[in-house]
């Protein structure tokens, strides 16, 4: 054994050899006979059978370096792949938006009939306690002076109230048993009003409209009682004045058979208060020129009704008999040879609200036959 020798690692052949601690330029590997070129520190004599610690560390570091070098291309590919995916998503989203294709939004929950808009819903919520107070106070009132506190335009209606109740009995309603069944906004010319159907304990239906005035919600009394100057059946029999204003229901007679005629044939019926499905005596036939204003208004009203729509954007379901439309008319009675003849002087409106606005769009020209 070489005295004062140590174990060294040959950087050429990778073997271990024993040599004296000399300068690296004169040390020679005993295995390959070449200069080891690289020196790696001595190893203690007690571990002579094992590779040098320095060599183990270097080879470990070398393997790690190779592994890292191998992993770099893989990581680069992964990053490039992610970048490509992000680009595809961004470009694809822009394309979809540009073509008008959008992700379908969840459908909102069905809304009740009163929430046509947030403003309408807020109006209903704010007004409902006042509406209930108005209708309750009105049906509990017993004199015209009391009624006038809860109705729209009470001064103008004062004379009509006396006249109406002189011919028509007042229906008794138990306020505590009124049941609100339907309600919604109606866009009257003067502004928004609120329609309500109330069920009474006797099975009657109260069809009401409330209009806000000076912070109070007042009942449209003319609409409520279907005001007419005189009971329709009595007028047809010859009672009352020769000319009267009436709120009635109109039916078009033989609509399909007469669609090519230049006149429209209608019959008029008085509604029953509280019983919307009930009809009274029909009037004689009225023949109205289709090209006249009255004829065009009626034709427009029947078409609106046929399409399932209502005047002033009302959303409440119709409670009138099918095919009939509400009209406010002025009728003249003419007595000839002891026989009464009737003439429809004017169709004032195609509704019962307290406004003279027709409620339908009247064509300028004759309607299509």
Task: For residue 56, tell me if it sits in a domain.
Answer: no
| Rounded Cα distance, 52 and 7, in Å | 8
Residue 207 shares a structural domain with residue 261: no
Sign of the alpha-carbon dihedral angle for 100, 104, 110, 112: negative
Same domain for 305 and 218: no
Burial grade of 44 (CB within 10 A; 0-12, 13-18, 19 or more):
exposed
SS3 321: coil
Helix (H) / strand (E) containing 94: helix 53-98
On whether both 245 and 156 belong to a single domain, the answer is: no
Question: Which residues, listed in sequence order, are joined to residue 289 by a DSSP beta bridge?
Answer: 263
Higher pLDDT, 264 or 157: 264
Task: Give the residue numbers spanning the domain of 278.
Answer: 232-349
Q: Domain ends where: 210, 225, 240? A: 225
Cα separation values, 286 from 160, 251, 280, 314, Å? 27, 10, 17, 28
320: left (phi over 0), alpha (psi -120 to 50) or beta: beta
- Confidence category of residue 61, pLDDT binned at 50, 70, 90: very low
Please say which residue of 51, 72, 93 terminates a domain: 51
For residue 244, is it within any domain?
A: yes
Helix (H) or strand (E) holding 69: helix 53-98
211 and 152 share one domain: yes
For residue 130, being part of any structural domain is answered with yes
And the tokens for 201? Answer: 């304990």
| 297-356 confidence digits (pLDDT tens) | 999 999 999 999 999 999 999 999 999 999 999 999 998 888 899 999 999 999 999 999
Element (H, E) at 342: strand 339-349
Pair 167, 157: CB distance under 8 Å: no
Query: For residue 27, is it within any domain?
Result: yes
Contact 342, 283 (CB under 8 A): yes
Is 236 within a domain?
yes
* CATH code of the domain containing 144: 3.10.450
Confirm whether 84 is domain-assigned.
no
Mark which of 51, 76, 91 sits at the end of a domain: 51
Q: Among residues of the chain, what percentage have pLDDT more than 90? A: 50
- Please tell me whether residues 292 and 213 are part of one structural domain: no
Task: State whether 295 and 213 are in the same domain.
Answer: no
Q: What is the DSSP string of 118-159?
A: HHHHHHHHHHHHHHHHHHHHHHH--SHHHHGGGBSSHHHHHH
Contact (CB, 8 A) for 8 and 42:
yes
User: In this structure, are 262 and 313 located in the same domain?
Assistant: yes
Higher pLDDT residue, 222 or 92?
222
Number of domains within the chain? 3
pTM of structure: 0.67
Q: What is the pLDDT of residues 107-133, one digit of tens each?
A: 333 334 434 578 899 999 999 999 999
Co-location of 220 and 236 in the same domain: no
């Amino acid at each position: 054994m070489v005295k004062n020798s140590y174990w060294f690692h040959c950087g050429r052949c990778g073997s271990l050899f024993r040599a004296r601690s000399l300068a690296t330029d004169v040390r020679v590997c005993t295995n390959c006979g070449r200069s080891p070129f690289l020196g790696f520190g001595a190893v203690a004599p007690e571990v002579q059978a094992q590779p040098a610690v320095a060599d183990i560390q270097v080879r470990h570091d070398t393997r790690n370096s190779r592994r890292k070098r191998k992993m770099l291309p893989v990581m680069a590919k992964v990053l490039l792949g992610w970048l490509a995916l992000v680009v595809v998503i961004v470009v694809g989203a822009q394309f979809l938006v540009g073509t008008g294709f959008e992700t379908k939004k969840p459908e909102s929950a069905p809304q009740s009939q009163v929430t046509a808009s947030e403003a309408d819903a807020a109006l209903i919520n704010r007004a409902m306690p006042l509406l209930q107070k108005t209708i309750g106070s009105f049906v509990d009132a017993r004199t015209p002076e009391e009624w006038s506190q809860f109705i729209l335009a009470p001064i103008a209606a004062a004379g009509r109230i006396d006249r109406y109740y002189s011919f028509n009995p007042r229906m008794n309603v138990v306020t505590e048993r009124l049941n609100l069944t339907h309600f919604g906004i109606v866009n009257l010319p003067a502004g928004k009003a609120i329609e309500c159907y109330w069920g009474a304990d006797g099975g009657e239906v109260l069809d009401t409209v409330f209009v806000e005035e000076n912070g109070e919600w007042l009942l449209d009394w003319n609409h409520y009682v279907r005001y007419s100057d005189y009971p329709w059946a009595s007028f047809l029999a010859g009672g009352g004045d020769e000319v009267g204003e009436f709120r009635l229901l109109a039916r078009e007679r033989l609509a399909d058979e007469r669609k090519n005629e230049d006149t429209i044939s209608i019959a008029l019926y008085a509604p029953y208060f509280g019983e919307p499905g009930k009809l009274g005596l029909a009037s004689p036939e009225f023949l109205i020129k289709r090209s006249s204003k009255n004829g065009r208004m009626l034709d427009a009203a029947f078409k609106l009704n046929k399409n399932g729509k209502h005047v002033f954007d009302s959303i409440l379901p119709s409670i009138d008999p099918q095919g009939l439309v509400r009209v406010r008319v002025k009728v003249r009675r003419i007595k000839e040879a002891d026989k009464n003849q009737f003439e429809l002087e004017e169709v004032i409106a195609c509704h019962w609200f307290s406004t003279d606005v027709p409620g339908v769009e009247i064509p300028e020209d004759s309607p299509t036959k």
